[in-house]
Amino acid sequence: MMRGGGMGNMQKMMKQMQKMQKDMAKAQEELAEKTIEGSAGGGMVTVVVNGQKEIISVNIKEEVVDPEDIEMLQDLVLAATNDALKKMEELTNDTMGQFTKGLNMPGLF
């Protein structure tokens, strides 16, 4: 049997959940607009990733392009890409993690 205060607490909790959902949606939209740059080889190769984890640009400095060093160039592009993706994942986790701190709701998040 619930007392009158029980329903009020449930409504309050539901309002908090709705606000959190709106805040999470806004944060996801903001993340989608962000870009992160990864680099390798001391900045010889840079890769830019957007918030949807898509590669939007690759920049290779002229002095890197030597036909005999194509394997090194491929490794640098791979390293820069992974660096950019890792940074975007960290930014996403930092941004979205604020909404789940202290919550233990298996299956909801």
Greatest distance between any 2 Cα atoms in the chain:
79
The distance of Cα 49 from the centroid of its chain, to the nearest Å, equals 10
Tens of pLDDT, residue by residue over 19-77, are 888 988 888 888 888 888 988 889 888 888 888 888 888 888 888 777 777 788 878 88
* CATH fold of the domain at 31-98: Ybab; Chain: A; (3.30.1310)
pTM greater than the 0.75 cutoff: no
What is the model's pLDDT at position 1? 47
